[in-house]
């Protein structure tokens, strides 16, 4: 038993941050067929790096985060991953990425902490 690597797949092992960004930018498709995910940071990173075709699990949280900017897949049906539906990625990706950033997260966290301290 074990994993048999298909001919069109390479197991890379560790890659640097720069290599990961290049791989995400130049990929044919970024796949995120997760069974459980709380938010979806890896697909956001791929979109930020320039991935044009992002596929994520058809889970409620993914729809909330990514709206119409990605393709949705059933992670249990891996033979039917790619579809021919074109997503208007440029505008949708900009919209999604504009909602989330580390700066916005820090500002929200700072506001919450300030409120907990009594507005000090």
C-alpha triplet 26, 29, 33: angle, nearest 5°: 135
Mean confidence (pLDDT) of the chain: 83
Within-domain flag for 83? yes
Question: Is residue 10 a part of any domain in this protein?
Answer: no
Non-local (6+) Cβ contacts of 69 within 8 A are: 47, 54, 87, 89, 92, 93, 95, 96
Domain-located, residue 3: no
Segment 22-49 mean pLDDT: 89
pTM: 0.71
Residue at 8 is within a domain: no
Name which of 87, 104, 97 is nearest 45 in CA terms: 97
Residue 84 lies in a domain: yes
Contacts of 45 by beta carbon, 8 Å cutoff, 6+ apart: 24
pLDDT-above-70 percentage for the chain? 87
Asked if the structure places residue 54 within a domain, the reply is yes
In-domain check, residue 96: yes
66, with CB counted inside 10 A (0-12, 13-18, 19+), is buried
First to last CA, the chain: 60
How many structural domains are present in the chain? 1
- Whether 82 shows a pLDDT value over 70: the answer reads no
Domain membership of residue 57 as a residue range: 17-116
β pairing state of 30-32 and 71-73: unpaired
- Considering the domain boundaries, does residue 36 fall inside one? yes
* Pairing label, strands 71-73, 54-57: parallel
């Amino acid at each position: 038993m074990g994993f048999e690597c298909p001919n069109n797949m390479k197991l890379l092992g560790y890659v640097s941050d720069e290599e990961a960004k290049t791989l995400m930018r130049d990929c044919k498709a970024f796949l995120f067929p997760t069974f459980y995910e709380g938010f979806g940071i890896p697909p956001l990173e791929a979109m930020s790096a320039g991935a044009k075709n992002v596929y994520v699990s058809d889970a409620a949280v993914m729809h909330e985060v990514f709206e119409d900017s990605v393709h949705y897949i059933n992670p249990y049906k891996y033979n039917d991953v790619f579809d021919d539906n074109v997503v208007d990625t440029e505008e949708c990706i900009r919209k999604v990425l504009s909602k989330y950033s580390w700066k916005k997260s820090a500002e929200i966290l700072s506001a919450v902490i300030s409120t907990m301290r009594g507005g000090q």
